[in-house]
């Protein structure tokens, strides 16, 4: 309880602090919707290069091997990881005021963990539940009006922003019940290696699902770093606004100026 | 004048009906374009033939010039006419190569147009779904269609699961120019290198 209180307080403090800090930037951002500064570009590019090296030696080959596994195994693993992530999604649904979603996701978690055997089978979806949407503390900070801050590339973890990295930090401050149970919890069933294992598997699952699109993007990009940065920031912007596709697209006045016919 | 009036009325009616006949609905246009692309990507063609066919389809249905201007962002206002011409030429070659090579990897993609929304007289967003396969889940694709000339609608952007390809390209180009102290020639050299 104390931890939840501290987490909520940190979220609130960050929200008010950063909003107060970015008043000047908000009027600027109307001009260039969604523009995020790359304050540490030199360092970011170096870290990106390091991550790329690591990816080609470790993650990509392992992800390719993972893809050889039968589809049912991969789907089951993905389902179980999604199920585990709902432990972070639910408190964020509440913090964002989405109480109905929090209720649905709690029911989904209970149903999938029990009937669906630790989430391997997504029985909730078969029972007609709405599609699961992940939420995290970075998104919650975003909905509270916290700007993204500078763009960051973290070693191993990849693209982020100051806000999203802060959000991830909240997980280890007590915001992630799975972290609390496996690392802080004094129980004989769970340990640190289980937590780290699920995090590595989540990364691997993502990498395996996106092998073709990442390869395609790499092949067709003239500045791969800039493409990845743009896609990451667009994706976060979409997730914070919970946009359903492009019918509520980001307004870009530049399109209106262009005459070609 | 009396004789002229029925003739003028007749002319107006004809003109109105003609314009109605030739205006193409954005969603019909997108569906017919993806059907053509699907046919080009069917396995009866070699990879080179696929690329050639995709280039032909893109030249007819995509506003390459418009996307090029958008991608250049604010820089298009500060460069000379000669540079603009050079850019238009380079961008077209870059776009066709990059676009066809991206798509040629797919075989028999099945795309279903689901709805459309008119943003204003110049733009209609068409929503579609790339039907899921064993290898990948369903993908939502939205098309920004430039409808200023309703007889000849053109695609200006593809938004895949909420991620705009044109915007990504714009930010990539801007990054190349900025990393070279705002020198547009650096972008031209990179484009030339890519086209090779």
In chain A, residues with a C-beta closer than 8 Å to the C-beta of B156 are 255
- This complex has an ipTM of 0.81
Does the structure show a pLDDT above 60 at A21?
A: no
The enclosing H or E element of A188 equals none
Q: Give Cβ neighbours of residue B88 (< 8 Å, ≥ 6 apart).
A: B65, B68
Nearest residue of B to residue A45, measured between CA atoms: B179
- Using the Cα atoms of residue A196, residue A138, residue A161 and residue A79 in order, give the sign of their dihedral: positive
Residue A235 forms part of a structural domain: yes
Query: Which tens digits make up the pLDDT trace of B65-81?
Result: 999 999 998 898 899 99
Nearest residue of B to residue A213, measured between CA atoms: B102
Q: Give Cβ neighbours of residue A58 (< 8 Å, ≥ 6 apart).
A: none
Contact criterion met (CB < 8 Å) for B70 and A255: yes
Residue A109 forms part of a structural domain: no
- A13 falls in which pLDDT band (50, 70, 90)? very low
Query: Which tens digits make up the pLDDT trace of B79-128?
Result: 999 999 999 999 999 999 988 887 877 766 788 999 999 988 899 999 99
Q: How many CB atoms lie within 10 A of CB A259?
A: 11
Q: What is the pLDDT of residue B150?
A: 85
Residue A126 forms part of a structural domain: no
What's the structural domain count of chain A?
Answer: 1
Residue A41 forms part of a structural domain: yes
Q: Which residues of B23-43 are buried (b: 16+ CB within 10 A; e: fewer)?
A: eeebbebbbebbebbeebbee
Helix, strand, or coil here: B120? coil
Query: Which tens digits make up the pLDDT trace of B18-32?
Result: 555 567 899 999 999
In this prediction the pTM is 0.82
Q: What is the pLDDT of residue B41?
A: 85
Phi, psi (5° rounding) for residue A160? -160, -175
Residue A225 forms part of a structural domain: yes
Minimal Cβ distance to B162: which of A221, A234, A258: A234
Contact residues, A window 197-256, toward B, CB-based 8 Å cutoff? 209, 212, 216, 219-223, 225-227, 229-231, 234-235, 238, 243, 245-247, 249-250, 252, 254-256
Residue A2 forms part of a structural domain: no
Domain enclosing residue A230, as ranges: 33-68+136-175+210-243
Contact criterion met (CB < 8 Å) for A250 and B164: yes
Average the pLDDT over each of A69-73, A114-118, B4-8, B55-59 and give the range with the smallest value: B4-8
Contact criterion met (CB < 8 Å) for A234 and B117: no
Q: What is the pLDDT of residue A245?
A: 47
Provide the mean pLDDT of chain A. 83
CA distances from A125 to A79, B134, B137, B188 (A): 11, 18, 15, 50
Contact criterion met (CB < 8 Å) for B172 and A256: no
Residue A40 forms part of a structural domain: yes
Contact criterion met (CB < 8 Å) for A258 and B144: no
Give A49-65 as a DSSP string: HHHHHHIIIIIHHHHHH
Q: What is the pLDDT of residue A26?
A: 36
Average the pLDDT over each of A22-36, B125-139, B166-180 and give the range with the smallest value: A22-36
Contact criterion met (CB < 8 Å) for A222 and B191: yes
d(CA B125, CA B12): 31
Chain B interface mutation, best of A246, A248, A252, A259, highest count of B Cβ atoms under 10 Å: A246
Does the structure show a pLDDT above 90 at A108?
A: yes
């Amino acid at each position: 309880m104390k931890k939840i209180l501290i987490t909520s307080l940190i979220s609130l403090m960050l929200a008010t602090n950063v909003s107060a800090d970015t008043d000047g930037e908000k009027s600027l951002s109307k001009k260039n919707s969604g523009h995020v500064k790359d304050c540490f570009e030199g360092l970011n590019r170096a870290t990106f290069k390091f991550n790329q090296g690591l990816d080609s030696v470790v993650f990509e080959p392992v992800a390719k091997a993972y893809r050889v596994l039968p589809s049912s195994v991969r789907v089951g693993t993905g389902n179980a990881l999604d199920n585990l992530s709902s432990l972070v999604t639910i408190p964020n649904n509440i913090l964002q005021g989405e109480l109905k979603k929090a209720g649905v996701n709690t029911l989904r978690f209970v149903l999938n963990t029990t009937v669906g055997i630790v989430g391997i089978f997504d029985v909730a979806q078969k029972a007609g539940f709405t599609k699961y949407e992940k939420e995290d503390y970075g998104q919650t900070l975003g909905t509270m009006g916290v700007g993204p801050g500078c763009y960051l590339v973290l070693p191993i973890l990849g693209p982020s922003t100051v806000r999203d990295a802060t959000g991830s930090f909240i997980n280890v401050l007590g915001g992630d019940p799975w972290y609390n149970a496996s690392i802080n919890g004094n129980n004989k069933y769970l340990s640190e290696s289980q937590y780290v294992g699920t995090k590595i598997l989540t990364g691997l699952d993502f990498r395996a699902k996106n092998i073709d699109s990442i390869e395609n993007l790499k092949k067709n990009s003239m500045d791969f770093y800039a493409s990845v940065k743009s896609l990451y920031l667009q994706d976060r912007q979409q997730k914070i606004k919970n946009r359903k596709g492009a019918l509520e697209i980001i307004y870009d006045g530049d399109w209106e100026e262009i005459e070609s016919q | 004048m009396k004789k002229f009036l029925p003739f003028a009325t007749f002319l107006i009616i004809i003109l109105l009906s003609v314009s109605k006949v030739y205006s193409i609905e954005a969603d019909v246009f997108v569906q017919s374009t993806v059907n053509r692309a699907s046919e080009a990507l069917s396995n009866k063609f070699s990879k080179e033939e696929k690329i050639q066919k995709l280039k032909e389809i893109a030249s007819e249905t995509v506003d390459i010039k418009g996307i090029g201007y958008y991608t250049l962002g604010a820089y298009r206002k500060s460069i000379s006419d000669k540079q603009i011409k050079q850019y238009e030429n380079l961008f077209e070659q870059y776009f066709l190569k990059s676009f066809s090579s991206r798509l040629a990897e797919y075989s028999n993609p099945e795309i279903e147009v689901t709805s459309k929304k008119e943003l204003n007289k110049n733009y209609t967003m068409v929503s579609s779904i790339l039907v899921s396969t064993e290898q990948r889940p369903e993908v939502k694709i939205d098309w920004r269609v430039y409808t200023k000339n309703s007889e000849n609608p053109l695609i200006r952007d593809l938004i895949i699961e909420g991620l705009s390809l044109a915007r990504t390209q714009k930010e990539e180009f801007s990054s190349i120019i900025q990393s070279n102290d705002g020198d547009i020639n650096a972008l031209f050299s990179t484009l030339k290198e890519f086209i090779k």
